[in-house]
Structure 1
């Protein structure tokens, strides 16, 4: 049972059973479908939801002929319920792992360069050691990965860290340094540009919002005394960016090693621009003061070991256009 204080009404008590039924209804879209999923009578689901709505002080669902949808109160509770149930499941798995049962799952966030340089060999080795542990991989920008680690939806992440990133509540372990470069499609009329000034009228696709202080592209233009770059679109995944520039005249500033990725090396080249953007270290991020499960700790320890064996990243070398 979970209790919290409502200063006007006293103590509000929620049970895990109520939260699990609430999530099931939200996912299934109807009480009947949720009852089938949970293998219980629909009346049992209805009863628990009524108790839950009484406890939280308002309706959680709006009902119509198509089923149910969350109210504003329900939407807020859904976020909290997912976190609570997720932490309970992690705790159950952790207790089993501490008893020597190597079962459960690890949720790992990866920035693009960590995916390419580290993850395939790391996963193969981890699966040999822990074949019954499921590994769930999430790719996104480092900013997004950091927020997901902070809220607990990821056990840890391998992400590039900007110099002004707020990591006061994180533990970080430096893995390797990432070099970035200007990238263009092969045959792009500006792919041979040697100065940033030649690219002042180009349009860019960026994996960071153009108003972020940590946007390395904007900082590079500012340091060169140029107007801000023209951002055509932003994405939440580097590989989305690379797909976009490979088929258009947009440019991007991304980890240099990705130009050699098997999916892109025949379509993308590194422009020989003299100005260089500041690199960023790729680090292992985890919540400070929150222990990892034994399985997650094993994978994190292996990630650090594998990173130490990586060859140093080479500076971006322009390739023939």
Structure 2
């Protein structure tokens, strides 16, 4: 198994076809096809299904793809580190950022980072956990700034806590259920939440099952975008569970309200999360340092907005 075999596999997954992968790799289509066929022949396994409409991955191919992303990603990071040692400043940093950090600390962090590393290209994904964790596992991200349940311990990842917050059920102001005080009285409502098939049981346990509440699956609508979730809650009368500090932000403070329920949804931590035993680049370390600096500075601010925000956050570093 050679590196160019794995690069071809990853590029086909990213680009969606062999022709597009060839353009991405700046190779001929024949060269990419040859690399893939060599890989299948060497492993004596079918990795791709080729049709007139393009290619898709077999189960075996998808499993190998996950390993290939890690290998290719680590080599790219090593190349960037060596380029920096040679004096070359160009590079790329791919991260995922949870919505709470996105609307509070991210703009200042990016500005500070850009001053320190102006030649680094940033690629920032919306860091809803159900979407970001699979990308981390695949090696498509350098790290994520993500919200996890406080009790979660995952041997796959290095987890560096930043702060903790409480989650609240939320609705638009004037929602017909605004006066309800029990989760059991809200099971006939539609909810906008974030989950994948793999995270469904964990979500149900956190939100409903631990409180003895049973909700019909058709009442749960999976949203993989923070802005989409807000639109559904604001204009479609859906409910959601979200970080309480979001109620102070521009995106929610003028129209959203918490529901004062007897049931609690527990504390969640926002942490810097990366694959265990992977090398973190200078750019990644710089970005995390910038984020910590912004959070510390804001936590010591005397402004009313910052005091209100940090009354709802518990710093963990």
Change (3 A) 1:175 1:310: farther
Give CA-to-partner distance per residue, 1:258-309, whole Å, 9 cap, x none.
2343334343222344554312121222333333111111111222222223
Residue 108 of structure 1 aligns to a residue in which SS? strand
| Aligned twin of 1:166 | 153
Q: Within the alignment, does 1:120 sit opposite 2:117 as a pair? A: no
Q: What is the correspondence of 1:82-121 to structure 2 with a 5 Å cutoff?
A: 82-121=69-108
Q: 2:182, 2:262 within 8 Å by CA — same for their partners in 1? A: yes
Change (3 A) 1:266 1:65: same
Q: 1:184, 1:251 within 8 Å by CA — same for their partners in 2? A: yes
Give CA-to-partner distance per residue, 1:202-231, whole Å, 9 cap, x none.
343322455217843226x71xxx533554
With the length of structure 1 as denominator, give the TM-score of the two structures.
Answer: 0.77
Distance 1:139 1:262 in 2: 18
Q: Return the offset for 1:114.
A: 1.5
Q: Return the offset for 1:146.
A: 3.9
Q: Return the offset for 1:180.
A: 1.9
Q: What is the correspondence of 1:181-220 to structure 2 with a 5 Å cutoff?
A: 181-196=168-183, 198-199=185-186, 201-208=188-195, 211-212=201-202, 215-218=205-208
Change (3 A) 1:110 1:66: closer
Q: 1:170, 1:285 within 8 Å by CA — same for their partners in 2? A: yes
Residue 159 of structure 1 aligns to a residue in which SS? strand
| Aligned twin of 1:286 | 274
Q: What is the correspondence of 1:51-62 to structure 2 with a 5 Å cutoff?
A: 51-62=38-49
- Residue 236 of structure 2, aligned match among 210, 224, 248: 248
Change (3 A) 1:28 1:273: closer
Change (3 A) 1:185 1:35: closer
User: Is there any run of 5+ residues in structure 1 with no aligned partner, and where?
Assistant: 1-13, 317-321
Q: How many residues align?
A: 298
With the length of structure 2 as denominator, give the TM-score of the two structures.
Answer: 0.78
User: Is there any run of 5+ residues in structure 2 with no aligned partner, and where?
Assistant: 300-308
Change (3 A) 1:199 1:104: same
| Aligned twin of 2:291 | 303
Q: Return the offset for 1:239.
A: 3.7
Q: Within the alignment, does 1:18 sit opposite 2:15 as a pair? A: no
Larger Cα Rg: Structure 1 or Structure 2? 1
Q: Within the alignment, does 1:180 sit opposite 2:167 as a pair? A: yes
